[in-house]
Amino acid sequence: MRASLIAALCGAATTFAIPTIEAVGNKFFTSDGDQFFIKGVAYQLVPDDPLVDTEQCTRDATLMKKLGVNTIRVYHVDANGDHDGCMKAFSDAGIYTMVDMDTFSTYILPNDPYWNQDQFDSYSGVLDTFQQYDNLLGLFVGNEIIAINNQSHAAPFIKAACRDLKAYRDSKGYRKIPVGYSATDIAELRPWIQDYLTCGGNSSENIDFYGLNSYQWCDPTTYEQSGYANLQEQAKNFPVPIFFSETGCNKPGPRLFEDQAAIFGEDMIHDWSGAIIYEWLQEANDYGLISYGPTVAATATGANIEGGFSRAGTPTPVSPDFSNLSEQWARITPTGVARSDYDASSVSTRECPASTPGGWLVQGNVALPTLGATLGSSTYSSMPSATGTGAAAAASPSETKNAVAGSKEIASMGAGLAGVMMIFTFWL
């Protein structure tokens, strides 16, 4: 039985004293009326659900608070787990949570997409469980589903998932928890994806926020050389909050995190809502900010040991990355705009991009798949509609294409993306 159902049977949902967050125009605002900027870390200690170990969450939340974290991103959770302890630990530390709703067996396939009742039930189960927590910032319907041009037919299925989950959220009387998508940073696809998911003028179908997994900024570099200037140009007056849902290139190293000054500085602060650093736990890809002890043999087994790394214990900062990030965030105190002074009509509604030869394959504002539809079958074909077409901006060919080795970004460039591959790529 889900924790939310148990709480409901007891007469009230479990909530904690922290302002809730909503998406208005291209900004996040707290229920106190203050603009909210994400200073986050990716947090997935174990494959299935890191938010069920209260003692570990409490230890990590304490150190995260010292680092300056106000948000974590969790890629996989068990909707039937008991998350009260962890969510309270993070709430007490002033930390919000963003949760991916898919699982290893329910994510939207990039090459043969479908959106069915089993997926909807699984996603809505996550929504049911986490909606009770005031420090739930938002939910992702997908992560890096589209990575190469011939996968863009999956875009209407991403949008359909968002439509149905938002409709379910509203039908249940839940607060307007933002529902969005986390995209691969591929220069040839980026403007088309972000424009398509926010086009058409129907807010009930569009994403509420857009996350970009980008590793373009590799210290030492600059705002212009890194490609961030191009990212900013494509994000100018974007209709929903846009932020880095993964970032933190570690080549050549060490990581100086000087991109944070750009993201929270005058060049980008008016259009971007912050960044989530990849990642909290040190693993073989060397992106961790903390470790739980020395590495062990990759074949070692035991409690909380996997892939040669301990996944529980006292978090110890990884030097110099932890201190470098802490120093950067300590210098950043954006104030933004008050909700009462913000005019959401100032942002632009995107045109639905037209298809391009060998590139973006969705022609304009196509009708979205219904629940149960499969691409290329009698249930759905992405035929163009009569309205809403337009050309998307071209991407700069000079942008770098850095990625986390072994991440879903790299893996999704291959054909198929079987569930086994998803498990492999996340933990490589």
pLDDT digits (tens, 9 = 90+) for 10-48: 434 455 589 999 999 999 999 999 999 999 999 999 999
Q: Quick one: pLDDT at residue 306?
A: 84
Q: Mean pLDDT over residues 126-137, rounded?
A: 98
Q: Quick one: pLDDT at residue 382?
A: 63
Hunting for tokens 């329910």 — which residue is that?
Answer: 106
- Which residues span the domain enclosing 218? 3-427
The CATH number linked to 95 is: 3.20.20.80
Residue 57 Cα to chain centre, angstroms: 20
Pick the more confident residue, 238 or 406: 238
Q: Mean pLDDT over residues 155-168, rounded?
A: 98
Q: Quick one: pLDDT at residue 373?
A: 95
At 21, list the tokens.
Answer: 């967050």
Give residue-wise pLDDT tens across range 226-243: 999 999 999 999 999 999
pLDDT band at 308 (very low <50, low <70, confident <90, very high): confident
Q: Flag whether pLDDT at 358 surpasses 80.
A: no
d(CA 120, CA 275): 28
Burial of 60 by CB count in 10 Å (0-12 exposed, 13-18 middle, 19+ buried)?
A: buried
d(CA 241, CA 269): 11
Would you please indicate which residues are annotated as catalytic (active-site) residues?
144, 246
Partners of 246 in the β-ladder: 213
Q: Quick one: pLDDT at residue 264?
A: 98
Q: Mean pLDDT over residues 161-181, rounded?
A: 98
Pick the more confident residue, 428 or 306: 306
At 130, list the tokens.
Answer: 């986490």
The total domain count for the chain is 1
Q: Quick one: pLDDT at residue 399?
A: 52
